[in-house]
Amino acid sequence: MELPHQKQRTFEPSAEAQAGANVAGMEAYRALAADAERDYAGFWGGLAREAIDWRKPFSKVLDESAAPFYTWFEDGELNASYNCLDRHVASGHGDRVAIVFEADDGTVTRVTYAQMLARVARFANALKRRGIKRGDRVVIYMPMSIEGIVAMQACARLGATHSVVFGGFSAKSLHERIVDVGAVALITADEQVRGGKTLPLKQIADEALAMGNCDVVRSVIVYRRTGGEVAWDTSRDAWMHEIVANESDICEPEWVGAEHPLFILYTSGSTGKPKGVQHSTGGYLLWAVQTMKWTFDWKREDVFWCTADIGWITGHTYIAYGPLALGATQVVFEGVPTYPDAGRFWKMIADHQVSLFYTAPTAIRSLTKAADADESVHPARYDLASLRIIGTVGEPINPEAWLWYRRHVGGERCPVVDTWWQTETGGHMIAPLPGATPTVPGSCTLPLPGIMAAVVDETGQSVPDGQGGILVVKRPWPSMVRTIWGDPERFKASYYPPELGGTLYLAGDGAVRDPETGYFTITGRIDDVLNVSGHRLGTMEIESALVAHELVAEAAVVGRPDATTGEAVVAFVTLKRARPEGEEAEQLAKTLRDWVGKEIGPIAKPKEIRFGDNLPKTRSGKIMRRLLRSLAKGDAIVQDTSTLENPEILDQLGRAV
């Protein structure tokens, strides 16, 4: 990747972008950052009092005594759902539209804040009647829908901790998460509809629950999306619309401590087992609100649209919580960007007068390709004048895609905010402020005020600007991951490793800081995590899935750069029988791809599978992944292969099936 200082182009925020911005000009940014440096607790305490309605005020901002298990605003009490709904209705904004929902087929439904509050209260009462209470864990396996957000908010209202599982995950992945989190209830839908196709969520949920160790799941609540056929267990299953029918639309929120776990969201790490990232209530909500105001410069008149799924952190912070906590109007979309055609996003921006738009580089790249191929779906064909700020998230954005986005979607007028963050950070960490920060294609620019990001070497020492290193955060921040559910030791080892001194948060990404501007460019993961279309996948998880197949003896998975998906999964496999060739190899590759789809989910399917008699190993038996990465890319092998036990297999593995 090119470094920012190798580029000529810097885009200053326009006069319009600066005028009236929540943070206007670099002076204002620097003043905020300096406030945080000067009085860290005072800075965060001030923001927290402003952003959140506290039932009981906190007396202390940050407690570092059990570091790295930091706590924030610990004796303060609040309820996230109250902050997202009741307070807007109480202040006279009940008639404001909270959600403009567009279904896959284009049907539009609007819900006001008052209606949303009533729906959440009714559903929370129904959950309560089924015995769900504070501290219980509830798994949500739902399509993009108003009901999905209602389910999350209802859990928050009761102090139940939700764990949303992305609808694209398999029965096995869902099962693994239900068991790990110890869920007492599962909320799902009959089917999910995307791009005109249906996916049988309830059936997958039934399969997951039949896999054993799920006895604690007492209730399965089903949102009827399509009316498609489903199996039914009357002792356990209930329709969402039936159980809310006679419930009151008043439900007193359960006031919880600021550290109460609002949710647990599973993500991939460098081992085979996904990590349950546990988030707090107070610190998390503060940052959801604050980053909406800073990174998106949110104002009352804005129409916000984040295209993520509620199954990922982006959909938690920038759909289910952030916009609602501000009383914003947002668009929620059920479908995919390419259905009925690749102009869908642009049409929806025009139809709903979206002013703040937030999507992923992979979507931008695929829509660029589509627009090049078919002029009728080019953004130029749509009226995108309502747009004010456009953002990206999920993976490094290549400068070409960034420039296309700015030009054709942002009309050379809208600041592009490239936001670097992670499931673990809860919200944006390094991102431009649209009314202040000059932007450079491919750089997420500067840390937000209060975020102490730095680049260090393997021992935790700072590295000079312009030189690549490891991205760390030097001070705790309110919305950070609190622990890994049920595994505090793994939390410490993953994020505060002793090699770095135990006090630096290890993000798992490489980065370089520009010597002149201090701007950060993210160079990608430094661990065994891949990023495919903005989805985070552990190579070990895919390897474990492959070796679970009866024919597979050994597997190694690496990433290969891909023009559309960022990275693509390439798997090198040895079988328990002779190496297949020709048609047999093609057949087996397909079988194994489908197998991974079943084991983890379609997002994890390898793009390519290659078979060898063996894998390249050192004499001590270690798989040489660097070599495999070169082979996957089709690069000539320049690495030293003298320590390789079996150099002849490089030839086999270098060839596609």
**Which residue number, 153 or 443, has a Cβ lying nearer to ligand WT7?**
443
Collapsed DSSP state (helix, strand, coil) of residue 522: strand
**Which residue number, 355 or 533, has a Cβ lying nearer to ligand WT7?**
533
Stretch that binds ligand WT7, among 14-22, 231-239, 312-320, 577-585 (CB under 6 A): 312-320
541 binding ligand WT7? (CB under 6 A): no
What is the smallest separation between the CB atom of 506 and ligand WT7, expressed in angstroms?
Answer: 11
**Which residue number, 126 or 310, has a Cβ lying nearer to ligand WT7?**
310
Task: Say how many residues touch ligand WT7, by CB under 6 A.
Answer: 22
CA distance 445 to 7: 14
**Which residue number, 313 or 324, has a Cβ lying nearer to ligand WT7?**
313
415 binding ligand WT7? (CB under 6 A): no
Instruction: List binding-site positions for ATP.
Output: 394-396, 418-423, 509, 525, 536
- The one among 316, 536, 549, 593 contacting ligand WT7 by CB under 6 A: 536
What is the smallest separation between the CB atom of 275 and ligand WT7, expressed in angstroms?
Answer: 10
81 binding ligand WT7? (CB under 6 A): no
142 binding ligand WT7? (CB under 6 A): no
CA distance 449 to 429: 9
CA distance 313 to 308: 9
Cβ–Cβ contacts within 10 Å for residue 595, how many? 18
- The one among 274, 394, 450, 460 contacting ligand WT7 by CB under 6 A: 394
Task: Annotate 209-224 with DSSP letters as a single string.
Answer: HTTSS-TT--EEEEE-
What is the smallest separation between the CB atom of 35 and ligand WT7, expressed in angstroms?
Answer: 25
443 binding ligand WT7? (CB under 6 A): no
Backbone φ and ψ for 263, nearest 5 degrees, come out as -160, 165
Q: Which of 513, 516, 541, 512 is nearest to 524 (CA)?
A: 512
List CB contacts of 374: < 8 A, sequence separation 6 or more.
Answer: 341, 342
List CB contacts of 197: < 8 A, sequence separation 6 or more.
Answer: none
- The one among 76, 337, 391, 508 contacting ligand WT7 by CB under 6 A: 508
477 binding ligand WT7? (CB under 6 A): no
Task: Annotate 476-509 with DSSP letters as a single string.
Answer: --TTS--EETT-HHHHHHHHS-GGGTSSSEEEEE
522 binding ligand WT7? (CB under 6 A): yes
Residues forming beta bridges with residue 473, ordered by sequence position: 453, 505
Stretch that binds ligand WT7, among 127-135, 201-209, 325-333, 419-427 (CB under 6 A): 419-427
CA distance 156 to 160: 6
What is the smallest separation between the CB atom of 336 and ligand WT7, expressed in angstroms?
Answer: 18
608, 588 Cβ separation under 8 angstroms: no
Instruction: List binding-site positions.
Output: 194-197, 314, 394-396, 418-423, 509, 525, 533, 536, 547, 549, 552
Instruction: List binding-site positions for Mg(2+).
Output: 547, 549, 552
- Alpha-carbon separation of residue 204 from 165, 170, 420, 590 (angstroms): 12, 7, 33, 22
The footprint of ligand WT7 (CB under 6 A) covers 267, 312-314, 393-396, 418-423, 444, 507-509, 522, 525, 531, 536
